[in-house]
Structure 1
Amino acid sequence: MDWGTILSQFRGIHTLIMIAIFVGICIWAFSPKRRSENDKAAHLVFEDEEIDARTREQQRGSKDDE
């Protein structure tokens, strides 16, 4: 076998391994066990907005007290 054939086989095997890793990560990320973690991550943005709203209300309340 020459180097061209070996390199070609290596590229094919490498591609198959990368596809298998990608599919494995997708299955892991969207598995039912990860649903609660994914929901928590999806709502992180909204938690920041709630904190900002509470801070604004507290600042308004302190201005009214003056």
Structure 2
Amino acid sequence: MAWETLLSQFKGLHTLLMIALFIGICIWAFSPSRQRENEKAAHLVFEDEDMEARTIEQQRRDNHNE
């Protein structure tokens, strides 16, 4: 078997393996069992804004009480 043929077969198998891996990761990431974690991750940005607003409000109260 020539090296070119062997290399060509390896590239084909490698491509199929990478496609299967990609599809597997997509199925895992969007599976119903991960829905809660995905929703929590989606709201992380808003939690930062809420925390910043609470911090600013607390600083205003502290300054007002002094």
Q: TM-score, normalised by structure 2?
A: 0.97
**One-letter amino acid of the counterpart of residue 60, structure 1:** R
- Per the alignment, residue 20 of structure 1 pairs with 20
Query: What are the equivalent positions in structure 2 for 1:1-66 lying under 5 Å apart?
Result: 1-66=1-66
Question: Over residues 17-44 of structure 1, what are the superposed CA-to-partner deviations in whole Å (9 max), with x where a residue is unaligned?
Answer: 0000000000000000000000000001
Q: Which runs of 5+ in 2 are unaligned?
A: none
Task: Give the drift of 1:62.
Answer: 1.1
**One-letter amino acid of the counterpart of residue 21, structure 2:** I
- The number of equivalent residue pairs is 66
Task: Give the drift of 1:65.
Answer: 1.2
Distance 1:12 1:33 in 2: 33
**One-letter amino acid of the counterpart of residue 8, structure 1:** S
**One-letter amino acid of the counterpart of residue 48, structure 1:** D
**One-letter amino acid of the counterpart of residue 55, structure 1:** T
Q: TM-score, normalised by structure 1?
A: 0.97
